[in-house]
A = this chain, B = another copy of it.
Amino acid sequence: MNLKIAVLPGDGIGPEVILQAKKALYAIGEVYNHEFVFEEALMGAIAIDKTGNPLPEQTLNLCLNTDAVLFGAIGDPKYDNNPSAKVRPEQGLLKLRKELGLFANIRPIKPYKALIDASPLKREIIDGADFTIFRELTGGAYFGKKTLNEEGTHASDLCEYSEEEITRIAHLAFKSAQNRRKKLTMVDKANVLETSRLWRKVVKDVSVNYPDVALDFLFVDNAAMQLILNPKQFDVILTENLFGDILSDEASVITGSIGLLASASLGEKNALFEPIHGSYPQAKGKNIANPIASILSAAMLLEHFGLFEEASVIYKGVEKAIEYEVVTVDLKADSKFGTNEVGEFVSNFI
């Protein structure tokens, strides 16, 4: 197979971890005779520094015209505490999601047997947990109108959803549930928010097409609690953009480290793969960042193109690295291995 892949390393630890994902893909290409052509481009704080624009035209055009995008991380503290910055790194990622129409962000959560004891949660709580979060990615408060009055004393964010936006991701989530344990949990705040009530109505309507899937509803406050009390109850979780952002970071504790979690963002025509962790600027350049989330993002990319055997070799390589404790310090405090060594281990395994 020939694949053209746009690579956006982004900020902080992004470049280091993405390098390891590329290594894994190179190895797969050689062994399985695929041609992966990578083209790098700027996005995020680094793009602002070099071009003034968090998503340069060139980057966007590249992404629109490739088979897939592999993305690292975004964000820089120098923007976070500057409320009056007009241009911010995150705008690049949000614009990219919107322009590529990446409406569904899929985040699988499943602890590794060898890491069961790395979680802050008790073994019996998480052993056997296995669920996927479907987070809507191009709507909600992320993209609604924002205002700040002239005096800088009054601000607003508008959260909006349409039936269409809800329907398309609901179908994906129900289909996924059909291939899993046939349970879908819709998370919302329908006792307070109008948008949540629309979600509930539309998801119920869509559910009639999937009579084999059991549908239930949880308020987001309760869901945030249930994820920790009893994560095994979940199969597929479907939710809106901001709730999905919060709940998927929270759910990472089940696996012991957010450095293990990959995600796929899908649209009608485009697909982007990224670790769910952030740019972790304190770790930048220290060879301590966990590259596994990025390497697993590469595996999700392969699956997306039907390369299941190839993806499974990566999954096995990651499992072996974890089993042999070739892991970064987030997983083993006294580990002598770094970003590079973990990446090498996995690509050598292939």
Cβ–Cβ contact A198 & B159, under 8 A: no
Among the listed B90, B156, B164, which residue makes an inter-chain contact with A194, where contact means beta carbons less than 8 Å apart? B156
Q: Can you identify 20 A-B contacts, CB atoms within 8 angstroms?
A: A81-B217, A83-B190, A90-B192, A94-B192, A120-B122, A120-B230, A121-B228, A142-B192, A154-B198, A155-B195, A156-B160, A157-B195, A221-B248, A221-B250, A222-B249, A224-B224, A224-B246, A224-B247, A227-B250, A228-B228
Residue of B nearest to A161 (CB): B155
Q: Which residues 142-193 in A have Cβ within 8 Å of B in the complex?
A: 142, 144, 146-148, 152-164, 189-193
Task: Select the residue from A81, A141, A155 with max chain B CB neighbours within 10 A.
Answer: A155
Which one, B161, B200, B225, contacts A253 given CB within 8 A? B225
Interface of A is mostly: helix
Q: Whole-angstrom distance between the alpha carbons of A189 and B140 in the complex? A: 14
> Is A220 part of the contact surface with B, judged by Cβ < 8 Å?
yes
Copies in the complex: 2
B198 engages A225 (CB within 8 Å): no
Residue of B whose beta carbon sits closest to that of A148: B194
A214 CB, min distance to chain B CBs, angstroms = 15
